[in-house]
Amino acid sequence: MPAILPPPFPTTSEDKNAEESYRCEVDDRHLISGPNRRLKELSLLFKVVRDFFNGFRGLHFVGPCITVFGSARFKEDHPSYQLARQMGAAIAKLGFTVITGGGPGIMEAANRGAKDVNGRSVGCNIELPFEQSHNPYLDKWVTMKYFFVRKVLLLKYSYGFVMMPGGFGTMDEMFESLTLIQTGKIKNFPVVVMGTEFWAPMKPFLDHMVKCGTISPGDIDLMLFTDSIDEAIDYLTHRAVKQFGLRRHCIPVSNPLLGEKGLDR
């Protein structure tokens, strides 16, 4: 007997009210839920532009960044938290600003590591239905409504990514950045994948993709898999600092007359 599938759209007034209530909780749901009324679409467009404007204005003066991604669920006693803290300190010593999603877990650890060595620490937070507050180790932070705006900002101001153990969001950022590099949309900047034991199950699948012809053999070389802070920093030095000609304090100068404010350091 064939399965009876649910109707694709709300059919009763109660269903429609429940759907509208769900969409109104956060603007993202309106944005990606198909056509809206024209004025609603225009309103959403202005909110997206405002998100970008606030992000550009807030992050323009933070200096060249390395973004650290990873799980928000790890506590201070987790080995990955400790590794991310060491990585954040090493990145800051290299002269980069450490930028993260601004939340807890690995993000907090990397920002905390930067502060341990008096480095620059920045967060690009996201509004969620359940509140995600920024961690206490930030010199500056911005909060975005839209995930895709946040992803663009984390890419825009970064000269490399460090991927710590994480979940769907970390993998999303990893493969989006690799896709942009693979397709030539951005220059081949370093992607460091920390935690070889955690990421070990992914490597056979990448080999399988090469075997099936869905990626090229050289695409795997776009990532460095390592557990070594020293190896990661050496990779960032050659693939970010030297490739882009970065100076230790290559930071635009803010103009107070325009209401601009850089980091106080």
pLDDT tens per residue across span 26-42: 566 777 778 888 898 89
Domain layout of the chain by residue ranges: 64-248
CATH 3.40.50.300, domain 64-248, yes or no: no
Q: Which alpha helices (H) appear in 27-97, and where do they start and end?
A: 27-31, 38-59, 79-94
Q: Which residues contact 231 (CB under 8 A, 6 or more apart)?
A: 224
Asked whether residue 155 carries a pLDDT value surpassing 60, the answer given is yes
Q: Which residues on neighbouring strands pair with residue 65, listed in sequence order?
A: 97, 158
pTM: 0.86
The string of pLDDT tens digits covering residues 73-121 is 999 999 999 999 999 999 999 989 999 999 999 999 999 999 999 999 9
Question: How confident is the model at residue 3, as a pLDDT?
Answer: 61
Tell me which residue of 128, 135, 139 sits closest to 105, measured CA to CA.
135
The string of pLDDT tens digits covering residues 209-233 is 999 999 999 999 999 999 999 999 9
Tell me which residue of 220, 166, 217 sits closest to 191, measured CA to CA.
220
| Percentage of the chain exceeding pLDDT 90 | 65
Q: Give the chain's length.
A: 265
